[in-house]
Protein backbone atom coordinates (compact mmCIF):
# COMPACT_ATOMS: atom_id res chain seq x y z
CA UNK A 1 0.00 0.00 0.00
CA UNK A 2 3.03 2.27 0.17
CA UNK A 3 2.61 2.87 -3.55
CA UNK A 4 -0.65 4.71 -2.84
CA UNK A 5 1.25 7.43 -1.06
CA UNK A 6 4.35 7.42 -3.20
CA UNK A 7 2.30 8.22 -6.28
CA UNK A 8 1.63 11.62 -4.77
CA UNK A 9 4.46 12.30 -2.34
CA UNK A 10 7.77 12.69 -4.14
CA UNK A 11 10.65 11.15 -2.25
CA UNK A 12 13.98 12.01 -3.79
CA UNK A 13 16.48 9.38 -2.90
CA UNK A 14 20.02 10.61 -2.27
CA UNK A 15 22.89 8.84 -3.91
CA UNK A 16 24.93 6.61 -1.42
CA UNK A 17 27.22 5.22 -3.92
CA UNK A 18 30.46 6.54 -5.27
CA UNK A 19 30.20 8.37 -8.62
CA UNK A 20 32.33 6.48 -11.12
CA UNK A 21 33.18 9.45 -13.38
CA UNK A 22 34.99 12.67 -12.40
CA UNK A 23 35.57 15.76 -14.53
CA UNK A 24 39.12 17.03 -14.18
CA UNK A 25 39.89 20.73 -13.63
CA UNK A 26 41.46 22.72 -16.43
CA UNK A 27 45.12 23.63 -16.13
CA UNK A 28 47.62 25.33 -18.39
CA UNK A 29 50.67 24.57 -16.27
CA UNK A 30 52.24 22.23 -18.81
CA UNK A 31 51.37 20.54 -22.08
CA UNK A 32 51.31 17.14 -20.40
CA UNK A 33 48.67 18.14 -17.84
CA UNK A 34 45.49 16.10 -18.32
CA UNK A 35 43.18 18.42 -20.32
CA UNK A 36 39.69 19.55 -19.37
CA UNK A 37 37.96 17.11 -21.73
CA UNK A 38 39.62 14.07 -20.12
CA UNK A 39 37.84 11.85 -17.62
CA UNK A 40 38.94 9.57 -14.81
CA UNK A 41 37.24 6.34 -13.91
CA UNK A 42 36.98 5.31 -10.28
CA UNK A 43 40.36 4.60 -8.75
CA UNK A 44 41.99 1.26 -9.46
CA UNK A 45 43.47 -1.00 -6.81
CA UNK A 46 46.91 -2.51 -7.35
CA UNK A 47 48.13 -5.96 -6.28
CA UNK A 48 51.69 -7.23 -6.56
CA UNK A 49 52.31 -10.99 -6.38
CA UNK A 50 48.92 -11.46 -4.74
CA UNK A 51 49.34 -8.74 -2.09
CA UNK A 52 47.59 -5.39 -2.13
CA UNK A 53 49.81 -2.33 -2.60
CA UNK A 54 48.80 0.72 -0.59
CA UNK A 55 49.84 4.04 -2.09
CA UNK A 56 48.62 7.59 -1.56
CA UNK A 57 48.58 8.17 -5.31
CA UNK A 58 45.97 6.05 -7.10
CA UNK A 59 45.82 4.39 -10.49
CA UNK A 60 43.09 5.44 -12.95
CA UNK A 61 41.68 4.86 -16.39
CA UNK A 62 41.94 8.13 -18.29
CA UNK A 63 39.73 8.62 -21.32
CA UNK A 64 39.26 11.23 -24.04
CA UNK A 65 42.90 12.22 -24.39
CA UNK A 66 45.31 11.61 -27.24
CA UNK A 67 46.62 8.52 -25.50
CA UNK A 68 43.80 7.05 -23.35
CA UNK A 69 44.24 3.99 -21.17
CA UNK A 70 45.19 2.90 -17.66
CA UNK A 71 47.70 5.17 -15.93
CA UNK A 72 49.68 4.50 -12.75
CA UNK A 73 51.72 6.94 -10.65
CA UNK A 74 55.46 6.91 -11.25
CA UNK A 75 55.85 6.66 -7.46
CA UNK A 76 54.44 3.14 -7.68
CA UNK A 77 57.83 2.12 -9.04
CA UNK A 78 59.38 2.98 -5.67
CA UNK A 79 57.48 0.01 -4.18
CA UNK A 80 59.57 -2.37 -6.29
CA UNK A 81 62.97 -3.86 -5.59
CA UNK A 82 65.95 -2.85 -7.72
CA UNK A 83 64.25 0.35 -8.87
CA UNK A 84 65.45 3.87 -8.07
CA UNK A 85 63.85 7.19 -8.97
CA UNK A 86 65.50 10.60 -9.32
CA UNK A 87 62.74 13.22 -9.21
CA UNK A 88 64.90 15.95 -10.73
CA UNK A 89 63.63 17.25 -14.06
CA UNK A 90 63.29 15.18 -16.08
CA UNK A 91 62.38 12.34 -13.73
CA UNK A 92 64.83 9.48 -14.21
CA UNK A 93 64.04 5.86 -13.37
CA UNK A 94 66.70 3.16 -13.17
CA UNK A 95 65.81 -0.52 -13.08
CA UNK A 96 67.16 -3.87 -14.23
CA UNK A 97 65.64 -3.04 -17.61
CA UNK A 98 67.61 0.17 -18.10
CA UNK A 99 67.39 3.92 -17.55
CA UNK A 100 64.24 5.82 -18.52
CA UNK A 101 63.43 9.52 -18.75
CA UNK A 102 59.91 10.52 -17.72
CA UNK A 103 58.90 13.64 -19.61
CA UNK A 104 55.98 15.31 -21.35
CA UNK A 105 56.06 12.86 -24.23
CA UNK A 106 55.34 9.77 -22.11
CA UNK A 107 53.46 11.02 -19.03
CA UNK A 108 50.56 13.13 -17.80
CA UNK A 109 50.31 15.32 -14.72
CA UNK A 110 47.41 15.14 -12.27
CA UNK A 111 47.27 17.14 -9.04
CA UNK A 112 51.04 17.44 -8.94
CA UNK A 113 51.63 13.70 -9.49
CA UNK A 114 53.21 12.28 -12.63
CA UNK A 115 51.46 9.31 -14.24
CA UNK A 116 52.60 6.89 -16.91
CA UNK A 117 50.66 4.35 -18.94
CA UNK A 118 50.47 0.84 -17.55
CA UNK A 119 52.21 -0.57 -20.63
CA UNK A 120 55.16 1.77 -20.08
CA UNK A 121 55.21 0.75 -16.41
CA UNK A 122 55.59 -2.90 -17.50
CA UNK A 123 58.50 -1.92 -19.76
CA UNK A 124 60.33 0.02 -17.05
CA UNK A 125 59.75 -2.44 -14.22
CA UNK A 126 60.01 -5.71 -16.09
CA UNK A 127 56.84 -6.89 -14.36
CA UNK A 128 53.95 -8.63 -16.06
CA UNK A 129 50.30 -8.21 -15.21
CA UNK A 130 46.73 -7.65 -16.23
CA UNK A 131 44.19 -4.88 -15.83
CA UNK A 132 40.96 -6.47 -14.64
CA UNK A 133 38.48 -3.79 -15.68
CA UNK A 134 35.42 -5.42 -14.07
CA UNK A 135 36.94 -5.16 -10.60
CA UNK A 136 38.93 -1.97 -11.31
CA UNK A 137 42.04 -3.82 -10.18
CA UNK A 138 45.54 -4.11 -11.61
CA UNK A 139 47.33 -7.39 -10.87
CA UNK A 140 51.13 -7.37 -11.20
CA UNK A 141 53.55 -10.24 -10.75
CA UNK A 142 57.32 -10.65 -10.67
CA UNK A 143 57.66 -14.45 -10.59
CA UNK A 144 55.87 -17.70 -11.33
CA UNK A 145 54.71 -17.89 -7.72
CA UNK A 146 53.42 -14.33 -7.89
CA UNK A 147 51.62 -15.08 -11.13
CA UNK A 148 49.96 -18.16 -9.60
CA UNK A 149 48.72 -16.15 -6.60
CA UNK A 150 47.44 -13.40 -8.89
CA UNK A 151 45.65 -15.81 -11.22
CA UNK A 152 43.93 -17.44 -8.24
CA UNK A 153 42.54 -14.08 -7.13
CA UNK A 154 41.48 -13.23 -10.68
CA UNK A 155 39.81 -16.62 -11.15
CA UNK A 156 37.83 -16.15 -7.93
CA UNK A 157 36.74 -12.68 -9.01
CA UNK A 158 35.45 -13.97 -12.35
CA UNK A 159 33.03 -16.25 -10.51
CA UNK A 160 31.50 -13.28 -8.68
CA UNK A 161 28.43 -12.43 -10.76
CA UNK A 162 27.71 -9.01 -9.27
CA UNK A 163 29.74 -6.24 -10.91
CA UNK A 164 29.45 -3.89 -7.93
CA UNK A 165 30.67 -6.48 -5.46
CA UNK A 166 33.78 -7.13 -7.58
CA UNK A 167 34.78 -3.47 -7.31
CA UNK A 168 35.42 -3.86 -3.57
CA UNK A 169 38.64 -5.70 -4.42
CA UNK A 170 41.57 -3.81 -2.93
CA UNK A 171 39.34 -1.01 -1.63
CA UNK A 172 39.63 0.53 1.80
CA UNK A 173 36.55 -0.35 3.83
CA UNK A 174 34.93 0.43 7.18
CA UNK A 175 33.57 -2.52 9.18
CA UNK A 176 30.63 -1.54 11.38
CA UNK A 177 31.23 -4.07 14.17
CA UNK A 178 34.15 -2.76 16.19
CA UNK A 179 34.65 0.18 13.81
CA UNK A 180 37.54 -1.54 12.07
CA UNK A 181 39.31 -0.29 8.96
CA UNK A 182 41.10 -2.38 6.36
CA UNK A 183 41.45 -3.35 2.70
CA UNK A 184 39.74 -6.12 0.79
CA UNK A 185 42.36 -8.67 -0.28
CA UNK A 186 40.19 -11.53 -1.55
CA UNK A 187 36.65 -12.07 -2.83
CA UNK A 188 35.37 -15.60 -3.42
CA UNK A 189 31.98 -17.17 -4.10
CA UNK A 190 30.82 -19.59 -1.39
CA UNK A 191 27.38 -20.43 -2.78
CA UNK A 192 24.76 -18.97 -5.12
CA UNK A 193 23.84 -16.30 -2.57
CA UNK A 194 26.92 -16.04 -0.37
CA UNK A 195 30.27 -14.42 -1.07
CA UNK A 196 33.31 -14.43 1.21
CA UNK A 197 35.23 -11.16 1.54
CA UNK A 198 38.60 -11.21 3.31
CA UNK A 199 39.82 -7.91 4.73
CA UNK A 200 43.34 -7.05 5.84
CA UNK A 201 42.95 -4.77 8.87
CA UNK A 202 45.30 -1.94 9.72
CA UNK A 203 46.73 -3.97 12.60
CA UNK A 204 47.81 -6.71 10.18
CA UNK A 205 45.14 -9.25 11.07
CA UNK A 206 42.69 -10.66 8.51
CA UNK A 207 38.94 -10.96 9.06
CA UNK A 208 36.35 -12.65 6.85
CA UNK A 209 32.98 -11.06 6.17
CA UNK A 210 30.12 -12.76 4.34
CA UNK A 211 27.87 -10.99 1.86
CA UNK A 212 24.41 -12.40 1.28
CA UNK A 213 23.21 -11.29 -2.14
CA UNK A 214 25.01 -8.40 -3.80
CA UNK A 215 25.23 -5.69 -1.13
CA UNK A 216 27.46 -5.87 1.96
CA UNK A 217 25.56 -5.32 5.20
CA UNK A 218 28.50 -5.48 7.62
CA UNK A 219 30.84 -2.98 5.98
CA UNK A 220 30.96 -0.11 3.48
CA UNK A 221 33.64 1.64 1.49
CA UNK A 222 35.77 4.05 3.47
CA UNK A 223 34.83 6.70 0.93
CA UNK A 224 31.19 6.36 1.96
CA UNK A 225 32.17 6.40 5.64
CA UNK A 226 34.02 9.68 5.16
CA UNK A 227 31.43 11.19 2.82
CA UNK A 228 28.14 10.35 4.52
CA UNK A 229 27.97 13.78 6.14
CA UNK A 230 28.28 15.51 2.76
CA UNK A 231 25.63 13.20 1.32
CA UNK A 232 22.93 13.98 3.88
CA UNK A 233 23.84 17.03 5.98
CA UNK A 234 22.95 20.60 5.03
CA UNK A 235 19.42 19.72 3.88
CA UNK A 236 15.86 19.96 5.16
CA UNK A 237 13.80 16.83 5.83
CA UNK A 238 10.34 15.98 7.16
CA UNK A 239 10.13 13.16 9.67
CA UNK A 240 8.23 9.99 8.83
CA UNK A 241 7.60 8.96 12.42
CA UNK A 242 6.15 5.60 11.34
CA UNK A 243 9.58 4.54 10.09
CA UNK A 244 11.68 5.98 12.93
CA UNK A 245 12.49 4.29 16.26
CA UNK A 246 9.77 4.82 18.86
CA UNK A 247 12.31 6.63 21.04
CA UNK A 248 12.98 9.25 18.36
CA UNK A 249 11.98 12.69 19.70
CA UNK A 250 10.65 14.11 16.44
CA UNK A 251 6.99 14.66 15.63
CA UNK A 252 5.40 13.14 12.58
CA UNK A 253 5.95 15.37 9.49
CA UNK A 254 8.14 17.69 11.59
CA UNK A 255 10.51 19.79 9.47
CA UNK A 256 14.14 19.61 10.55
CA UNK A 257 17.51 20.65 9.19
CA UNK A 258 20.35 18.11 9.29
CA UNK A 259 23.45 19.85 10.65
CA UNK A 260 25.68 16.77 10.73
CA UNK A 261 25.48 13.02 10.11
CA UNK A 262 28.14 10.68 11.46
CA UNK A 263 28.56 6.94 11.03
CA UNK A 264 29.65 5.16 14.20
CA UNK A 265 29.43 1.39 14.33
CA UNK A 266 25.98 0.33 13.13
CA UNK A 267 24.33 3.65 14.00
CA UNK A 268 23.97 7.00 12.33
CA UNK A 269 24.25 9.92 14.73
CA UNK A 270 22.31 12.95 13.50
CA UNK A 271 22.52 16.47 14.89
CA UNK A 272 19.61 18.54 13.61
CA UNK A 273 17.84 21.84 14.08
CA UNK A 274 14.11 21.62 14.77
CA UNK A 275 11.52 23.98 13.34
CA UNK A 276 11.33 25.79 16.71
CA UNK A 277 15.07 26.53 16.53
CA UNK A 278 16.13 23.98 19.14
CA UNK A 279 18.94 21.54 18.42
CA UNK A 280 18.35 17.82 18.76
CA UNK A 281 20.65 14.80 18.47
CA UNK A 282 19.44 11.26 17.85
CA UNK A 283 20.76 7.97 16.57
CA UNK A 284 19.37 5.80 13.80
CA UNK A 285 20.24 2.10 13.98
CA UNK A 286 20.60 0.50 10.56
CA UNK A 287 21.15 -2.86 8.94
CA UNK A 288 22.76 -3.01 5.52
CA UNK A 289 22.93 0.31 3.70
CA UNK A 290 23.32 3.12 6.28
CA UNK A 291 21.47 5.52 3.99
CA UNK A 292 18.32 3.39 4.03
CA UNK A 293 17.20 4.63 7.45
CA UNK A 294 17.29 8.21 6.18
CA UNK A 295 15.52 7.40 2.93
CA UNK A 296 12.78 5.54 4.81
CA UNK A 297 12.57 7.74 7.87
CA UNK A 298 12.41 11.13 6.21
CA UNK A 299 10.67 12.85 3.33
CA UNK A 300 12.76 15.18 1.21
CA UNK A 301 9.65 17.07 0.04
CA UNK A 302 7.17 18.64 2.45
CA UNK A 303 4.00 16.50 2.29
CA UNK A 304 1.92 19.60 3.05
CA UNK A 305 3.06 21.13 -0.23
CA UNK A 306 1.88 18.01 -2.08
CA UNK A 307 -1.60 18.14 -0.51
CA UNK A 308 -2.27 21.87 -0.05
CA UNK A 309 -6.09 21.52 0.12
CA UNK A 310 -6.20 19.40 3.24
CA UNK A 311 -7.56 21.17 6.33
CA UNK A 312 -5.52 22.21 9.38
CA UNK A 313 -7.52 19.74 11.45
CA UNK A 314 -6.47 16.89 9.16
CA UNK A 315 -2.81 17.87 9.36
CA UNK A 316 -3.03 18.15 13.16
CA UNK A 317 -4.32 14.57 13.32
CA UNK A 318 -1.51 13.40 11.02
CA UNK A 319 1.12 15.11 13.17
CA UNK A 320 -0.34 13.40 16.25
CA UNK A 321 -0.57 10.09 14.33
CA UNK A 322 -4.31 9.87 14.86
CA UNK A 323 -7.07 8.83 12.46
CA UNK A 324 -10.73 9.84 12.10
CA UNK A 325 -13.79 8.77 10.13
CA UNK A 326 -13.80 10.52 6.77
CA UNK A 327 -10.03 10.49 6.21
CA UNK A 328 -8.89 9.24 2.83
CA UNK A 329 -6.25 6.57 2.31
CA UNK A 330 -3.39 9.02 1.67
CA UNK A 331 -4.13 10.75 4.95
CA UNK A 332 -4.17 7.47 6.85
CA UNK A 333 -0.89 6.42 5.24
CA UNK A 334 0.77 9.64 6.34
CA UNK A 335 -0.65 9.27 9.84
CA UNK A 336 -0.15 5.54 10.50
CA UNK A 337 2.12 4.40 7.71
CA UNK A 338 1.57 1.34 5.54
CA UNK A 339 -0.66 -1.43 6.96
CA UNK A 340 0.66 -4.80 8.03
CA UNK A 341 -1.82 -6.48 5.69
CA UNK A 342 -4.80 -5.57 3.54
CA UNK A 343 -7.57 -6.97 1.39
CA UNK A 344 -9.75 -5.39 -1.26
CA UNK A 345 -13.06 -5.98 -3.03
CA UNK A 346 -14.30 -4.08 -6.09
CA UNK A 347 -17.93 -4.27 -7.18
CA UNK A 348 -19.99 -2.44 -9.77
CA UNK A 349 -20.53 0.66 -7.63
CA UNK A 350 -18.20 0.34 -4.68
CA UNK A 351 -14.65 -0.52 -3.67
CA UNK A 352 -14.12 -1.87 -0.17
CA UNK A 353 -10.66 -2.06 1.42
CA UNK A 354 -9.65 -3.49 4.73
CA UNK A 355 -6.31 -2.41 6.22
CA UNK A 356 -4.86 -4.24 9.21
CA UNK A 357 -2.57 -2.62 11.77
CA UNK A 358 -1.79 -5.16 14.45
CA UNK A 359 -5.17 -5.91 16.07
CA UNK A 360 -6.89 -2.90 14.50
CA UNK A 361 -8.94 -3.29 11.31
CA UNK A 362 -9.74 -0.21 9.19
CA UNK A 363 -12.60 -0.30 6.68
CA UNK A 364 -12.59 1.97 3.61
CA UNK A 365 -15.46 2.48 1.16
CA UNK A 366 -14.47 4.10 -2.11
CA UNK A 367 -11.23 5.24 -0.50
CA UNK A 368 -12.83 6.89 2.56
CA UNK A 369 -12.43 5.57 6.10
CA UNK A 370 -15.90 4.50 7.29
CA UNK A 371 -15.11 2.54 10.46
CA UNK A 372 -12.51 0.57 12.38
CA UNK A 373 -12.54 -2.11 14.99
CA UNK A 374 -10.08 -3.53 17.52
CA UNK A 375 -9.74 -7.25 18.13
Residue 71 pLDDT > 90: yes
Same-domain check for residues 363 and 264: no
- Looking at the fold, whether 56 and 121 belong to one and the same domain comes out as yes
Instruction: Give the pLDDT confidence score for residue 65 in this predicted structure.
Output: 74
One domain for residues 240 and 255:
yes
Q: Among 97-111, 151-165, 196-210, where is mean pLDDT lowest?
A: 97-111
Cα 167 to chain centroid, rounded: 12
Residue 22: the pLDDT is: 35
pLDDT per residue as tens digits for the range 231-279: 999 999 999 999 999 999 999 999 999 999 999 999 999 999 998 999 9
At which of 279, 304, 329 does a domain end? 304
The total of structural domains in the chain comes to: 4
Q: pLDDT by residue (tens digit) across 178-187?
A: 999 999 999 9
Q: Is the same domain home to 169 and 133?
A: no
Shared domain check, 96 and 30: yes
Would 314 be classed as within a structural domain? no
- Does any domain span residue 1? no
Mark whether 115 and 77 lie in a shared domain.
yes
32 and 104 together in one domain: yes
185 and 276 both lie in a single domain: no
Note whether 31 and 61 are same-domain residues.
Answer: yes
* Residue 55 dihedral angles phi and psi, to the nearest 5°: -135, 150
More confident residue, 110 or 220: 220
CB-CB contact of 116 with 60 (8 Å): no
Length of the chain in terms of residues written: 375
Question: What domain range includes position 278?
Answer: 233-304
120 and 71 assigned to the same domain? yes
User: What does the alpha-carbon distance between residue 87 and residue 106 come to, in Å, rounded to a whole number?
Assistant: 15
Cα 352 to its chain centre, rounded Å, is: 42
Q: Are residues 126 and 189 in the same domain?
A: no
Residue 8 confidence class, pLDDT cut points 50, 70, 90: very low
Nearest to 357, CA basis, from 335, 342, 367? 342
Same domain, 252 and 340: no
pLDDT of 74 higher than 60: yes
Which of 251, 275, 304 delimits the end of a domain? 304
Amino acid sequence: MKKLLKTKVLIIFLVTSFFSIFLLPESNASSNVVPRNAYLSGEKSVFLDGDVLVTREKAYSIEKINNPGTYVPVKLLSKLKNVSIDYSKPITVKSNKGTYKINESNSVLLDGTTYIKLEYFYKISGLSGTDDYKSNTIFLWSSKEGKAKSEKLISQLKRVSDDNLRTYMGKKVYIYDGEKIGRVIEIAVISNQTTSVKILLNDGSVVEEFVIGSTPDTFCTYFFYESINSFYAGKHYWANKNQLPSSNPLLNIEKIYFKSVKLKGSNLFVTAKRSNGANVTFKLPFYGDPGTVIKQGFYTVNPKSVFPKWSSATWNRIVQQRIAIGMNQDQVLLSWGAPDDYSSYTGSYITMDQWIYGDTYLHFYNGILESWSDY
